[in-house]
Amino acid sequence: MLKHAVRHLTLGAGLALALSLSAPAQAEDLGPITIAKQGYFFVGGKYTEAPGEREPVMAGHAYVEFQIPQNRQRPFPIVMVHGCCSAGSSWSGTPDGRDGWAHYFLSKGYAVYIMDQVGRGRAAYVDSVYGQNNPKAPKFVEREFISYERYNLFPQAKLHTQWPGAGVVGDPLFDQFQAMMEPDFKDRTLREIFNRNAGDALLDKIGPAILMAHSQAGIYAWGIANDRPQLVKGMIMIEAAGSAFHEIALKGPPDWFKDEGMSKPWGFTRTPVDFAPALEPKQELAIEQQEKADSPDLAKCWRQKEPARKLPKLAGIPIMLLHGEASFAMPTAHCGAAFLTQAGVQNDFVKLADLGIHGNGHFMMLEKNNLEVAGVIADWLTRRVTPLENAK
């Protein structure tokens, strides 16, 4: 198993919720670190006419919080964008009070920008513009996000061992995680439009950066990289590039997988990206499904028919596709890597199990070995994107 040395920092580990929740405070701190500057801003918003509103309302804005370490050694900041259905807090700690990935990468000399998606966290949900929301009930969260091994909906579920608590409603650590859950856009295309625009505006403001996207945020990150390829210096896709084109539902044995039809007509996105040769107006990509899955524990992938169109704006960007052994994303992880490769986009498809790191689920940044996983990312960044500057 890989071992990664980490410096220590003291930045208030974990979630501090003023609620009747009783998660134990554990002291897995990374030690002292000096922050040279920190602050926040909003990006992407504008005044919008909305039904039922007497005057235009501010909408489409994302909240961004940043910290810049005094010992900054890396040329590009990391922009962290959370997935469904939390906010930026998922990067800042863990349910059991350990330090999170934001702290870890600050200790490695990176500036860190954490974005709350449009309509989440400190970017308020504007009902009159965003429409109906889609909250996540506790039992849904237990089944879909945390306790895979209890429900056995996909072949790898039984391998899950890294969640730090019992993983069920009523367990203090699960309750901390549930408290992070926030209502989400029911209209997934509208959500993508707003967050893609906000991400473009963020890079326009801060300049060249590394995108770190988790899960749902991958849809935005691919669009942002297409829009601002000169500003995206690397992409760390944390289970953020799975099944292309079609959604795949997990339904348990014996058949395991159910194709739910077209959802992302541009491959990974619902909104247009630039293929070459370019598509004509109203023209769709020609796609086909594998006749047979690569193995019994994997879903059949949807890919372009040959000759495949390319994604030239993504070519040349270092891309890491990182996947946990026991995540619900594992049955389709290979599909994302294959889609990119076919489109002429080199990518590093990294499965933690291949590195001797076992038992991780989808929210690996919160699990027991979260810093070991962060070390894998840090090593990849040093090799592929950001060699140390001014290292002693």
Please give the positions annotated as active site.
Answer: 215
**Cα–Cα–Cα angle for 228, 231, 233, nearest 5°?**
120
Residue 380's φ and ψ, nearest 5 degrees, are -65, -45
Q: Which helix (DSSP H) or strand (DSSP E) does residue 247 occupy? A: strand 246-252
Residue 348 is which amino acid?
D
SS3 for 277-288 is CCCCCCCCCCEE
| CB of 130 closer than 8 Å to CB of 208 | no
As a dihedral over the C-alpha atoms of residue 297, residue 301, residue 307, residue 310, rounded to 10 degrees, the angle is: -110
Cα 167 from Cα 148, distance rounded (Å): 9
Packing angle between helix 188-206 and helix 217-227, nearest 10 degrees? 50
Place of tokens 């209890």: 150
Q: Is 119 left (phi over 0), alpha (psi -120 to 50) or beta?
A: left
